[in-house]
Amino acid sequence: DTGVSQNPRHKITKRGQNVTFRCDPISEHNRLYWYRQTLGQGPEFLTYFQNEAQLEKSRLLSDRFSAERPKGSFSTLEIQRTEQGDSAMYLCASSLGGRATAYEQYFGPGTRLTVT
Amino acid sequence: AQSVAQPEDQVNVAEGNPLTVKCTYSVSGNPYLFWYVQYPNRGLQFLLKYITGDNLVKGSYGFEAEFNKSQTSFHLKKPSALVSDSALYFCAVRGDTGGFKTIFGAGTRLFVKA
């Protein structure tokens, strides 16, 4: 299967701990997105990478959140000092890139984070 | 500011009847519009998109959507609903100016009754 993969699928952590999630995009996709989705809501944009460059970051992404995409391949999202409000599904998506058009995003299955 | 509104939390339709799931948007510049579907325990899947050109776009599984610039709408339609269409549908928009942030609506749950 050559879709977007995310690991782990589920993570339970205690408040105050740090967690890291990994996303492996579709190999030929140069664009990568992170979203957060809570129950009853649509995906909420967190950050965007084009190749290895993080080009856009939501104001919702506090300084406890950091994302990287070394070498423009897989990406990691780290949350430091987790809070109960961080409990959500974290989605990764990837797409092709182009200036004159917009390509659809392909989503991974998500990582469900529960902070106790 | 960019926004997407899906005014109905749930749409109920009988199998074989036409269905419409509504979406309106607000965006800077020209819109790029998308519909995604989420089945239980599965990730979001792309259905169709409007970038430019013909206002009626066709997508996967017999779905289509009509872009209406004056009403800033992009309603999802299907002539004949199937029970298997029951799922959560999300409308999304990105403007062609500025950044790459895509805004999603809150979703509409479609329930097709046999």
For the stretch A52-98, pLDDT in tens is 999 989 887 788 999 999 988 999 999 999 999 999 999 999 998 87
The verdict on a CB contact (< 8 Å) between B101 and A31 is no
Q: What percent of chain B is helix, strand and coil (3-state, nearest 5)?
A: 5, 55, 40
Q: Which residues of B touch A107 (CB under 8 A)?
A: 36, 43-45
Reply yes or no on whether the pLDDT at A1 is more than 60.
Answer: no
In this structure, the strands spanning A10-13 and A111-115 are: parallel
DSSP letters spanning A61-107: S-TTEEEE-GGGS-EEEEESS--GGG-EEEEEEEE---SSS-PPPEE
pLDDT for res B111: 97
Residue appearing with tokens 């897989």? A74
Average pLDDT over residues B6-12: 97
B83 at interface of A, judged by CB pairs closer than 8 A: no
Tell me the per-residue pLDDT of A30-41, one tens digit each, with 9 for 90 and over.
Answer: 999 999 999 989
Check if the beta carbon of residue B25 is closer than 8 Å to that of residue B5.
yes
B39 at interface of A, judged by CB pairs closer than 8 A: no
Reply yes or no on whether the pLDDT at B76 is more than 90.
Answer: yes
- Residue B88's CB is within 10 A of a number of other CB atoms, namely 18
pLDDT bin (cut points 50, 70, 90) of residue A99 is: low
The verdict on a CB contact (< 8 Å) between B106 and A101 is no
Cα dihedral sign for A38, B102, A73, A18? Answer: negative
Q: Which residues of B touch A108 (CB under 8 A)?
A: 43
A72 at interface of B, judged by CB pairs closer than 8 A: no
Average pLDDT over residues A18-33: 95
Cα dihedral sign for A72, A42, B43, B45? Answer: negative
Q: Which residues of B touch A44 (CB under 8 A)?
A: 104
Check if the beta carbon of residue B48 is closer than 8 Å to that of residue B34.
yes
B45 at interface of A, judged by CB pairs closer than 8 A: yes
Q: Is B54 left (phi over 0), alpha (psi -120 to 50) or beta?
A: beta
Q: Name the minimum distance, in Å, from the CA of A16 to any CA of chain B.
A: 29
